[in-house]
């Protein structure tokens, strides 16, 4: 029997959808131009100039880890507080504008002042990741049920396009500084941070204007009791998960396969560097991912609606298995660009459909706290992957290393061990696929019907 055609969205709904999606366009300026693009390179070549490279790099790593840990540990609490106060959008704006201000602050950090650069970057990262908790939790309130996949994919598509356009502009500034009235590349990079902050904060104003705060009657007591009540609600959510088999298994599946996705992305960059690719090759590959990811995310949204979300997720996981094998066999510059193109085809899709699938499983009125846990799982991703790669590589190295190796044997064993480490990431995708399959299976011994 044919399904009835859903009614067209109202102008108010369309405006809310675009206001929600444009925030991905806004914050991708930070994710692409700052996190993935200029900050790591500029930190090494400018802010760390004249200091011990190992010390500054270690502190940068600690700052990144601390920022991720703060967000991961606080995500369930923040989500619970947002639900209890009915202020998801307000907290999103706090994180967004705070992160944008910290990003702009990088402009004033002088050469050799790596400590200040780390501090501003850590604050911006916390603002970026914290705001995403509330951004994701707004999805069920702006998108009708029949449009969850399309709207979630629209957000990722807008992010790829917006981040790619700003990154293209800032890369052009660094290549041709005089064209933009700038004295040198260092000045171009510093102004890139200002542009990223203005882009992030400026387009967030549309989100503030067009996205309504979800209707929610606050249930919290006096303001002084808010942290305590938030912790209690977050703990209650964790207890509830024990009795919600589908949600719990999906979160575990998501943790495994997103860990694999993040590891593959990092492996591609590191592998490209080890093969001797130039920084321009890496920038070109990153731009490819952005502009291919834009239409690919939209296609995945349509695929999720027509073919089914779970089937589409399995397709994405299978594609990443193939990407993993191809990455292990990569030897040439053209292979690197082909790998970047493949990642662009599937990265946004698997992220968008994971979010919409999860939004269908959870209670809408508790979207904040449940998406807090979802983002916590995402932040704890890329933990198992690097450990698997390192362990497998070391094991193969010890197994194959001859007693007195020649330089040629050393190179051959190191290359084989590296490829074995990459292939070990397949375990994460297999585990994620199995758990995703079992998430929809009925329990073997179901209890009495309610």
Residue 233 has pLDDT above 60, yes or no: yes
Architecture per CATH, 10-213: Up-down Bundle (1.20)
Closest CA to 130 of 81, 94, 85, 86: 94
- Residues 218 and 223: their CA atoms lie apart, in Å, by 12
- Residues 21 and 23: their CA atoms lie apart, in Å, by 5
Phi, psi of 215 (to 5 degrees): -65, 120
Question: Using 50, 70 and 90 to split pLDDT, how confident is the model at 336?
Answer: confident
Q: Identify the pLDDT of residue 43.
A: 80
Percent of the chain with pLDDT over 70: 83
Q: Are 285 and 171 in contact (CB under 8 A)?
A: no
Q: Identify the pLDDT of residue 282.
A: 76
Q: Are 314 and 257 in contact (CB under 8 A)?
A: no
User: Chain-wide mean pLDDT for the chain?
Assistant: 83
**Two structure tokens written together for 247:** 């949600």
CA angle 214, 220, 225 (to 5 degrees): 135
Q: Cα–Cα distances in Å, from 15 out to 159, 352, 423?
A: 17, 20, 45
- Residues 198 and 170: their CA atoms lie apart, in Å, by 13
Span 88-95, average pLDDT: 93
Residue ranges of the domains in the chain? 10-213, 243-442
Burial class (CB in 10 A: 0-12, 13-18, 19+), 444: exposed
Max CA pair span of the chain: 75
- The b-or-e profile of 38-61 (16+ CB within 10 A means b, else e) is bbeebbeebbbeeeeeeebbeebe
More confident residue, 306 or 20: 20
Q: Identify the pLDDT of residue 81.
A: 73
Residue 151 has pLDDT above 90, yes or no: yes
* Terminal Cα-to-Cα distance of the chain (whole angstroms): 29
Kind and range of the H or E run holding 291: helix 279-307
Predicted model pTM: 0.83
- The b-or-e profile of 198-229 (16+ CB within 10 A means b, else e) is ebbbebbebbeebbeebebeeebeeeeeeeeb
Phi, psi of 45 (to 5 degrees): -90, -15
Q: Are 268 and 340 in contact (CB under 8 A)?
A: yes
Give the model confidence (pLDDT) of 356-397 as tens digits. Answer: 999 999 888 888 888 888 888 877 766 677 778 778 878 888
What's the residue count for the chain?
450
Question: Using 50, 70 and 90 to split pLDDT, how confident is the model at 21?
Answer: very high
Q: Identify the pLDDT of residue 13.
A: 82
Fold of 243-442: Growth Hormone; Chain: A; (1.20.1250)
Residue 330's SS3 state is: coil
Span 107-122, average pLDDT: 88
**Two structure tokens written together for 110:** 């002088």
Q: Identify the pLDDT of residue 409.
A: 80
């Amino acid at each position: 029997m044919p399904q009835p055609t859903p009614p067209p969205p109202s102008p108010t709904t369309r405006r809310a959808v675009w206001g929600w999606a444009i925030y991905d366009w806004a914050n991708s300026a930070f994710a692409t131009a700052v996190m993935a693009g200029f900050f790591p390179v500029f930190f090494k070549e400018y802010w760390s100039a004249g200091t011990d490279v190992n010390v500054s790099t270690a502190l940068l790593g600690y700052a990144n880890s601390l920022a991720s840990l703060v967000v991961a540990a606080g995500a369930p609490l923040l989500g619970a507080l947002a639900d209890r106060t009915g202020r998801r959008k307000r907290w999103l704006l706090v994180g967004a504008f705070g992160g944008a201000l910290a990003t702009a602050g990088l402009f004033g950090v002088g050469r050799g002042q790596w400590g200040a650069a780390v501090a501003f970057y850590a604050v911006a990262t916390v603002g970026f990741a914290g705001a995403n908790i509330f951004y994701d939790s707004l999805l069920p309130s702006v998108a009708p049920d029949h449009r969850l996949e399309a709207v979630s994919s629209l957000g990722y598509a807008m992010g790829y396009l917006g981040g790619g356009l700003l990154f293209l502009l800032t890369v052009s500034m660094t290549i041709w500084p005089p064209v933009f009235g700038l004295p040198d590349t260092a000045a171009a990079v510093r102004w890139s941070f200002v542009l990223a902050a203005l882009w992030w904060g400026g387009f967030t104003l549309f989100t503030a204007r067009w996205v309504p705060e979800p209707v929610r009657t606050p249930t919290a007591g006096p303001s002084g009791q808010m942290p305590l009540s938030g912790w209690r609600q977050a703990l209650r959510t964790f207890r509830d998960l024990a009795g919600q088999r589908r949600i719990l298994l999906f979160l575990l599946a998501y943790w495994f396969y997103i860990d694999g996705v993040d590891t593959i992305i990092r492996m591609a960059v590191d592998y490209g560097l080890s093969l001797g690719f130039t920084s321009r090759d890496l920038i070109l590959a990153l731009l490819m991912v952005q502009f291919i990811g834009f239409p690919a995310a939209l296609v995945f949204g349509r695929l999720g609606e027509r073919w089914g979300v779970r089937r589409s997720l399995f397709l994405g996981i299978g594609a990443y298995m193939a990407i993993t094998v191809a990455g292990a066999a990569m030897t040439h510059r053209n292979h690197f660009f082909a790998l970047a193109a493949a990642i662009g085809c599937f990265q946004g899709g698997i992220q968008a459909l994971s979010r919409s699938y999860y939004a269908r499983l959870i209670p809408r009125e508790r979207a904040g706290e449940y998406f807090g846990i979802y983002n916590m799982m995402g932040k704890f991703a890329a933990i198992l992957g690097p450990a698997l790669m390192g362990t497998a590589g070391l094991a193969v190295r010890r197994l194959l290393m001859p007693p007195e190796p020649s330089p040629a044997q050393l190179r051959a064993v190191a290359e084989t061990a590296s490829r074995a480490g990459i292939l070990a990431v397949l375990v994460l995708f297999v585990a994620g696929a199995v758990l995703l399959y079992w998430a929809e299976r009925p329990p073997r011994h179901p209890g009495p019907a309610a």
